[in-house]
A and B are shown apart, each in its own frame.
Chain A
């Protein structure tokens, strides 16, 4: 514990982020539950969903910054881990619907009844239990990252080649999840969720609890990443980023460092996806789309690569801009995003947090 305080003392940006999350975790319940609808202080369900969504994206950006900013691995496939976590949560939520579905089947989700399936596929078993689903949310992305990373890092695939195969991984999963006979609802994915742990998702209190859980898990993920990068292992990881073969010659098994950081990053992305799904109310294969992974990289670059808190800030700011633009000037958004990336790369190599006068040593 004393170590946590020592690390945070030197981390001003992190303290700002954690302070902001604490304000959200306290302010949002007060606003939604204590003020009457229509009051200036009352957050509408729409805003509540948006904030929750931004925080989940912030967590995904954190995961990407850990692996890209500190370990130098540009993953263009983190949307895959995010989506897998989301699907695991979605499977739990689908099983909670029970007889309230359109076809009223107590076991089978609607799409399976529609496909004329008679029994639940084996990989759906257990997902009626929240804790089983919670384990899967971390385990499935983690295991995929472990196997994929083990193969890729062991073969010393690095740089742009690694980026391309992470992109291919995500694309392949997208195509697979589009298929009806995969058993994940095909292109419609999962939606029409009813409740989580017995609480109705339509109930504002449930939404607030979900948002508070998201702030807590984002704070916890942030602390985990910060403690990791401030440890000696974190210094080894940065050494790998800056001079991989040199690190190898110092005797460090570089592949296993990359692998464990990659797995941790994937697990955080998976948890982010799991928190995202009940808040936005849908998960479908388009979440795996390559463009999503690339957008995350832009958030991180805009916020400030290799700072962790900058990645979270970037995700929130860019997505706020996206919400604004796609409402006000929908046709401009993609150009604005592209221009933003180019401008930040050229003029703000340290991202938006680079604009804040330095007082911290984050690199």
Chain B
């Protein structure tokens, strides 16, 4: 595997908060079109890793590159978002007092400057793009309703839809099925699997059944570093993983 194959390079990342090392010399690569699951106990550094990638947290040391051109550590959060990294938060945060359609409209790719957006009108192509994403996330018939009226699972899908509007190359998805019903979980699994290929998807998740149902490759984090990486079966049979995380 040559370096050009990767879309995300994280090398030797260390982040400490008051002496606690949230990330400890973490090295991780993600390939284009891959659907990667990241698991690990609480405090393993999963969220901190996402924070570093999206520019929310600056590491003490290490490097983070998006493709071979963009040094994420020199970019601001909006710059990173515009460059093609979308992040879905753990708690669904959609804009409650905007309609489903408007939520997606704000996520449209394009200039974000105030003076440009002030005059922006929805073009036919943009309208089609919103309609297409509404179809993918299954919310076409809810589009004129306020987002606050959606069920929990629907909010999660809307948020994934908002990420898709930006046509990101890399999607970071934090605990997408927490609090979902089994049906919603299943629907989410289908959605994420259908996105892989066109996008690289990195999923942080606690729900092992869910991870098994979608993952081709799993990375196990522990105390801020990579403990194991491989197929779900490989990591489940790895003794170190069993010891720290999977338990029985």
- Other than the given A233-B120, A253-B114, 19 more pairs (CB < 8 A) read A231-B117, A231-B120, A235-B98, A236-B117, A238-B97, A242-B98, A243-B93, A245-B93, A246-B89, A246-B95, A247-B95, A247-B106, A248-B78, A249-B81, A250-B162, A251-B78, A251-B112, A252-B117, A260-B114
Asked whether A233 lies within 8 Å of B117 as measured between CB atoms, the reply is yes
B28 in contact (CB, < 8 A)? no
- The reply to whether A253 and B166 form a contact with Cβ atoms under 8 Å apart is no
A249 close to B95 (CB less than 8 A): no
Nearest B residue to A252 via CB reads: B112
Please name all residues of chain A whose beta carbon is closer than 8 Å to the beta carbon of B113 when the two chains form the complex. Answer: 253, 256
Contact with A along B73-94 (1 / 0, CB 8 A): 0000110011000110100011
Q: Indicate whether A253 sits within 8 Å of B98 (C-beta atoms), given known contacts A233-B118, A239-B106.
A: no
The verdict on B54 contacting chain A, using a C-beta distance below 8 Å, is yes
Residues of chain B lying within 8 A (CB to CB) of residue A248: 77-78, 81
Which of chain B's residues has its CB closest to A239's CB?
B95
**CB closest residue in chain B, given A254:** B78
Task: Find out whether the CB atom of B106 lies under 8 angstroms from the CB atom of A249.
Answer: no
Top 10 closest pairs, chain A to chain B, by CB? A251-B81, A233-B118, A246-B93, A232-B120, A233-B117, A239-B95, A251-B82, A243-B93, A251-B78, A252-B112
Contacts of A232 in B (CB 8 A): 105-106, 117-118, 120-121
Cβ contacts under 8 Å, B81 to chain A: 248-251
User: Nearest CB to that of B103 among chain A residues?
Assistant: A239
Q: What band does the interface of chain B fall in when counting residues whose beta carbon is under 8 Å from A?
A: 20 to 34
With the chains together, A363 CA to B98 CA distance in Å? 8
Q: Which residue of A lies closest to B95 (CB)?
A: A239
List residues of chain A with CB within 8 A of the CB of B78. Answer: 248, 251-253
> Which residue of chain A is the closest to B121 with respect to CB atoms?
A232
Residue in A242, A249, A253 with the greatest tally of chain B CB atoms within 10 Å: A249
What is the minimal beta-carbon distance from A240 to any residue of chain B, in angstroms? 9
Q: With a CB–CB cut-off of 8 A, which chain A residues contact B60?
A: none
Task: Report if B71 contacts A (CB, 8 A).
Answer: no
Would you call B31 an interface residue if the criterion is a C-beta within 8 Å of the partner chain's C-beta atoms? no
Task: Give 12 A-B contacts (CB < 8 Å), ordered by A residue.
Answer: A231-B117, A231-B120, A232-B105, A232-B106, A232-B120, A233-B117, A236-B117, A239-B95, A246-B94, A246-B95, A249-B89, A252-B106
> How near does chain B come to A216, taking the closest CB pair, in angstroms?
24
Tell me if B107 is interfacial: C-beta within 8 Å of chain A: yes
Within 8 Å CB of B119, what residues of A?
231
Whole-angstrom CA separation of A200 from B89 in the bound complex: 63
User: With A and B bound together, what is the CA distance between A242 and B98 in angstroms?
Assistant: 9
CA distance A245 to B77 in the complex (A): 10
Q: Does A257 make an interface contact (CB < 8 A)?
A: yes
Contacts of A243 in B (CB 8 A): 93-96
- A239 & B166 in contact (Cβ 8 Å cutoff): no
Bound state CA distance, A276 and B121, in angstroms?
A: 37
Q: Which of B96, B102, B166 contacts A250 (CB 8 A)?
A: B166
Write the nearest CB–CB distance from B172 to chain A, whole angstroms.
Answer: 10
Contacts of B105 in A (CB 8 A): 232, 235
Does A134 make an interface contact (CB < 8 A)? no
Q: 1/0 contact trace for A190-229 toward B, CB 8 Å?
A: 0000000000000000000000000000000000000010
Could you tell me the distance in whole angstroms from the C-beta of A354 to the nearest C-beta in chain B? 15
Contact call A249/B87, Cβ cutoff below 8 A? yes
Smallest CB–CB gap between B163 and chain A, Å? 9
Chain A nearest CB, measured from B112 CB (Å): 5
Chain B residues within 8 Å of A260, by CB: 114
Chain A residues whose C-beta falls within 8 Å of the C-beta of B54 in the assembled complex: 249
In the bound complex, CA of A234 to CA of B46 (Å): 35
Chain A 305-347 near chain B by CB (<8 Å), digits 1 or 0: 0000000000000000000000000000000000000000000
What is the distance, in angstroms, from A3's C-beta to the closest C-beta of chain B?
A: 9
Residues on A with beta carbons closer than 8 Å to the beta carbon of B95: 235, 238-239, 242-243, 246-247
Residues in chain A near residue B96, CB distance under 8 A? 242-243
Q: Once the chains bind, are B114 and A256 in contact (CB under 8 Å)?
A: yes
Chain A stretch 53-70: residues in CB contact (< 8 A) with chain B: none
Q: What residues of chain A lie closer than 8 Å to B107, measured between beta carbons?
A: 250
Chain A neighbourhood of B94, CB < 8 A: 243, 246
B-contacting residues, A38-84, CB 8 Å: none
Which B residues from 95 to 143 make CB contacts under 8 A with A? 95-98, 102, 105-107, 112-114, 117-121
